Structure 1
Amino acid sequence: MNLDELTARLHAIRDHNDWRRFHSPKNLAMAASVEMAELVEIFQWLGEDESRRLEPAQLEHAGQEIGDVVLYLLLLCSELGLNLEQVVRAKLADSERRFIAPEASA
């Protein structure tokens, strides 16, 4: 996945529709949250096992909402001057240190 290419394509859509004025970090964070809520809604009344076996239409819908969340986060990173790949790699490294690093005292 080339994040620079995706960001450029998102910026082209944004600029073509004159949406830049709406793309403040606050608005983008809220939009990502709304899309995440739409993803959560797919699973709202499903049991644990059902949530692992979505019907094809549900799975497609989940993919669309996941895409929306990721694209808004990519736009948010762009507005904040953050590199999404670097942010994710740093967080993953932190989680690896915290959750799979050997115990200091055994």
Structure 2
Amino acid sequence: MNITELTNRLHAIRDRNDWKQYHSPKNLAMAASVEMAELVEIFQWLTEQQSHELSNDVLEHAGQEVGDIVLYLLLLCSELGLDMEQVVRAKLADSERRFAS
């Protein structure tokens, strides 16, 4: 995944539609949260086993929601001046350090 390319493509869509005015960190965090809630809704009443056995249609829907979440997080990182790859690598290294066996 080339984060810079994806962010540039997102900015092109944002700019073409004059959405930057709505892309404050607060709004982007809230939008990501709403999309996460939509992902959670897919699994809400499923058993553990059913959550591993999604139909193709439901799996595609889940993928759409994951995509929405990631895109909002890319925009949020951009607005905050965070390097997504750097923050993810730092968090992963922290988890490896904290949870090493």
1:17 aligns with 2:14: no
Q: How does 1:40-55 map to 2 (within 5 A)?
A: 40-55=40-55
1:21, CA displacement in angstroms? 0.3
Runs of 4+ in structure 1 off by over 6 angstroms are none
What is the TM-score of this pair, normalised by structure 1?
Answer: 0.94
Deviation for aligned residue 1:34: 0.2
State the distance in 2 between where 1:8 and 1:26 align: 21
Match of 1:81 in 2: 81
Letter in 2 for 1:16: R
Cα distance, 1:57 vs structure 2: 0.4
| Distance across 2 between alignment mates of 1:87 and 1:61 | 27
- Partner residue, 1:70: 70
Sequence identity of aligned pairs in percent? 78
Listed as ranges, the gaps of 5+ residues in structure 2 are: none
Task: Establish whether residue 28 from structure 1 lines up as the match of residue 28 from structure 2.
Answer: yes
Equivalences, count: 101
Residue 93 of structure 1 and its aligned partner are, at CA, apart by: 0.3
* AA matched with 1:29: A
Amino acid at match of 2:15: D
CA deviations over 1:21-71 (Å, ceiling 9, x no partner)? 000000000000000000000000000000011011000000000000000
Alignment-mate amino acid for residue 4 of structure 1: T
Distance 1:46 1:15 in 2: 39
Q: Secondary structure at the match of 1:36?
A: helix
What stretches of structure 1 of length at least 5 have no aligned partner? none
